[in-house]
Structure 1
């Protein structure tokens, strides 16, 4: 009987950093170190371990995905996480992105609406040895009563940033990153652009970062009365 080969996930993480991230100008040292250390596979069911480090979104069910490593890394670099900052991750899914930001030294709160994904996230945080506060709630509302997040990551593609979430960003130094959907030709798939926003009074000033293809977060339709 042949011995079963045990996957070398540590080497897979190093290969992800060296072949996917560094060649595309992901240079944030703490972020690279965190993605080298956090076991991405532990946030997935065992049946999906084999695609944990592939350069693609991983289907999670509930119309949700685990964002491809490169797309996430470039978004997180746009957020520029700093140790000690308070960061909110909206649509945290199974929690991998929140865990990486926590491994960068940030104080992270993960907001998720699906109970099954929250359970997976809690298990992943324990396996990864990181501390993340996770809350169940309406993704469009952020965390009511909190108005001073240093940074906010909306982890997926949306038509618009919900006003309640934007209002919880610290004015001046705070920043928000997400992927905004873009108009596409009839019959073509959805396209998106990663953006970074900064709160200016009651508005959110947004600038583009890079073209980004990822799955849409369900229910984040355009809000006509809220303009950038």
Structure 2
């Protein structure tokens, strides 16, 4: 399979037509080998409009959705970025010249994507997704959905920092952009999306009598 040609078709047919106009982002999507982020035997599906398996229950977000999330973040060269359960997004951000760390809860994910992330210059951390590593991030992004406002992720942003994520409590979800200010956090809805919800980011059920 000609992956370079497939990347061009992907950008032309899935990204540009969905109002992703940032040329730096388009170039990054053209440069990052998405097939290296798929489970063994799944590379053939890397450029389709599907959520491709990475490992266990983890899947890549559709490129249309991850591109729109990243565009909303208004990435600037040299910014620090944390990709929580977002290895492909991490590599794209690195191609946009951000300083990126990828965090995963399961080492099995890094067994699949680790070499691609290393080649992209992305640092890796294995830790619970509910506990973001470090702090004062300019950017946090995730390819998985969350079932509730990710307060721990917001706390890890610096003032002026941005978080892009999908919030989903049922069959449908909404991508949202949070911006942290000195007096609080603003929230703006972006578009409909329904990636799988990250189990660690689902609140425990509360029973009432």
Query: So what's the TM-score if we normalise by structure 1?
Result: 0.84
Q: Measured at CA, do residues 130 and 60 of structure 1 come closer, stay the same or move farther in structure 2, by a change above 3 Å?
A: closer
SS of 1:140 mapped into structure 2 = coil
CA deviation after TM superposition for structure 1 residue 155, in Å: 2.2
Aligned residue among 71, 96, 99 for 1:77? 71
Q: Would you say 1:191 and 2:185 are equivalent positions?
A: no
Alpha-carbon separation, structure 1, partners of 2:38 and 2:84:
19
Give the number of equivalent residue pairs: 205
Aligned counterpart for 1:162 among listed residues 150, 154, 158 = 150
State the partner residue of 2:125: 135
Structure 2 residues not aligned, in runs of 5+: none
Q: CA deviation at 1:223?
A: 8.1
Structure 1 consecutive aligned stretches of length 4 or more whose deviation exceeds 6 Å: none
1:53–1:201 Cα change, 3 Å: same
Unaligned runs of 5+ in 1: 1-6, 185-189
State the TM-score, normalizing by the size of structure 2: 0.91
RMSD after superposition: 1.8
- The 5 A counterparts of 1:49-60 are 49-60=43-54
- Matched residues in 2 for 1:202 and 1:134: separation? 32
Deviation digits for residues 63-111 of structure 1 (CA, Å, limit 9, x no counterpart): 211111111111111112211000011113xx22111110000000111
Q: Which residue of 2 aligns with 1:217?
A: 198
2:191 alignment partner, SS class: strand
In structure 2, what is the equivalent of residue 204 of structure 1?
185
Q: 1:22 to 1:116 in 2, by over 3 A?
A: same
Which residue does the alignment assign to 2:117?
A: 125
Contact 2:176 2:189 in 1 (8 A): yes
Partner residue in 2 for 1:175:
162
Deviation at residue 138 of structure 1 after TM alignment: 1.0
Provide the rounded CA distance (Å) in 2 between the counterparts of 1:114 and 1:71.
Answer: 23
Counterpart among 2, 9, 26 of residue 8 in structure 1: 2
What aligned pairs does 1:92-103 form with structure 2 within 5 A after superposition?
92=86, 95-103=87-95
Residues 33 and 84 (structure 1), Cα distance of their counterparts in 2 relative to 1, 3 Å cut: same
Q: Tell me whether 205-214 or 9-18 shows the greater mean CA deviation.
A: 205-214
Q: Is the 8 A contact 1:43 1:123 kept in 2?
A: no
Q: Is the 8 A contact 1:160 1:223 kept in 2?
A: no
